[in-house]
Amino acid sequence: MPRALIGLMFFPRGGSAHVTRALAHALPAHGWDVQVVTGSVRDGPSDAKRFFAGLDVCTMDYTGALTAANPLAHDPPMHPSFEDRPDAPDPVFAKVDDAGYERLVDAWSAKLAEAGAADADVLHLNHLTPLHAAAERVAPDVPVVTHVHGTELLMLEAIAAGPPAGWDHAEAWSARMRRWGRASGRLVLLSDTQEERVERELGIPPERCTVVPNGFDPEVFDRREVDRMAVWRRWLVQEPRGWRPGAGAGSVAYEDADLGAFSDQNPVLLYVGRYTRVKRIGLLVRAYARARTQFARPAPLVLLGGYPGEWEGEHPVEAIERCGVEREVFVAGWHDHDLLPEFFAACDAVVLPSVREQFGQVLVEGMACGLPAIAVDAHGPGQIVDDGRTGWLVEPDDEEALAGALVAAVNDDAERRRRGEAARVDVRGKYSWPALAARVAAIYDTEVGQPVSRPAKI
């Protein structure tokens, strides 16, 4: 059986890790053996050995780098990020100098050599990162398929618009990423809305790209019966994982008395995701505070996610307290992906106000469980959600429209259920991982044996 090595520079915490895991499990059924090479953090939700359990995985351990005085100078060096988050251990790529870049390439060259990259039939590299330079050094004759998840495009677009202050090495990274993209035999995009952006930012025409949206496991994400109150009592009262930053840092715990709104008669709204600016959680909290005065009955909003210690801008707890909705909007913290179906089963609609969501994995998974979606009509969500049929779409950053969608979803039970059922049918026909993995395997089959072209170094 031919072997694909799937590379992921980052430790598991975002959508690309979930995509990697799903494909690695599904591809053997389509004739491909898979090995995963990835970053990792020990003893937590981002422990790659745990996250990729049951798979052949080779890890780069970032645990020491997380707390090092200079994470990029640690051995191994911390991976950078496509996001510029102050005080984060992973600086934005555009701030990393040439020496830091070389350390990253050296470390990943050794890791790819350890994994036997030169003997693979295809290298499937997630994002545009120094993994590409390491692959060129260690396995120059192995064809590369690059999975563009979108965060790299956001950074390139920010550079093209005029790099923010402190992005002193932006142009060097932009040139590297363009070169890595052009050296790839095929680019996998999440939606056709990315084709024009890839051509503009990387100079790669649509005919070299294949759209393969993110998907879901149909055996895991489906309707199920749960004791709704028991779910929320466990994760909000008995085993709370919500957290607050700053001087009052610590867990956010609730009492049984706070859960009255979670009765079976009341709809529950659910947000799932990280606490980054583009997610617009503060906007969601403000829209909820506006909408609640029009709710026919209580309808709690749960914020699930927020990687521990990581946030941008105003923390959700601060937004909740500022809007005076402490007993109506609940922070439930970060949980394993395997628990998501249980949370979806205890809710009635999934909400994603993100303005630059490159796909919208959580929408697909929630819709597969029979939930209608409330999202922004842009990028991936604008293609996933059929406004008026499978959910509600609003314009980006439109607080009033978002509040109106929340009111409509809460107050009309019959319409909410109708859209939820349509959502379930729709995504099961479009976004099932077994079918999507077949498309990825077909890309591999085409690339095997093709000559590898290496553009001149810039």
| Contact present, 353 and 279 (Cβ < 8 Å) | yes
Q: Is residue 260 part of a domain?
A: yes
Indicate the pTM of the whole model.
0.77
**One domain for residues 424 and 437:** no
**One domain for residues 126 and 196:** yes
Residue numbers of the domain that contains 426: 228-430
CATH code, 439: 3.40.50.2000
The count of domains in the chain is: 2
**One domain for residues 293 and 150:** no
**One domain for residues 443 and 411:** no
**One domain for residues 138 and 191:** yes
Per-residue pLDDT of the chain (458 residues; tens, 9 = 90+): 999 999 999 999 888 998 999 999 999 999 999 999 999 999 888 999 999 999 999 999 999 999 999 999 999 999 999 999 888 899 999 999 999 999 999 999 999 999 999 999 999 999 999 999 999 999 999 999 999 998 999 999 999 999 999 999 999 999 999 999 999 999 999 988 899 999 999 999 999 999 999 889 898 999 999 999 999 999 999 999 999 987 566 789 899 999 999 988 899 999 999 999 999 999 999 999 999 999 999 999 999 999 888 888 899 999 999 999 999 999 999 998 889 999 999 999 999 999 988 788 899 999 999 999 999 999 889 999 999 999 999 999 999 999 999 999 999 999 999 999 999 999 998 898 888 999 999 999 999 977 776 665 64
**One domain for residues 12 and 98:** yes
DSSP of 236-300, one letter per residue? IIIS---EE-GGG-EE----GGGGGGGSTTS--EEEEE---GGG-HHHHHHHHHHHGGG-SS---
**One domain for residues 364 and 437:** no
Q: Is residue 456 part of a domain?
A: no
**One domain for residues 410 and 438:** no
**One domain for residues 170 and 21:** yes
Q: Is residue 407 part of a domain?
A: yes
Measured CA to CA, the distance from residue 94 to residue 177 in angstroms comes to 11
Q: Is residue 104 part of a domain?
A: yes
Q: Is residue 223 part of a domain?
A: no
Q: What is the identity of the amino acid at 328?
A: E
Q: Is residue 167 part of a domain?
A: yes
**One domain for residues 180 and 241:** no
**One domain for residues 417 and 358:** yes
Q: Is residue 452 part of a domain?
A: no
Q: Is residue 220 part of a domain?
A: no
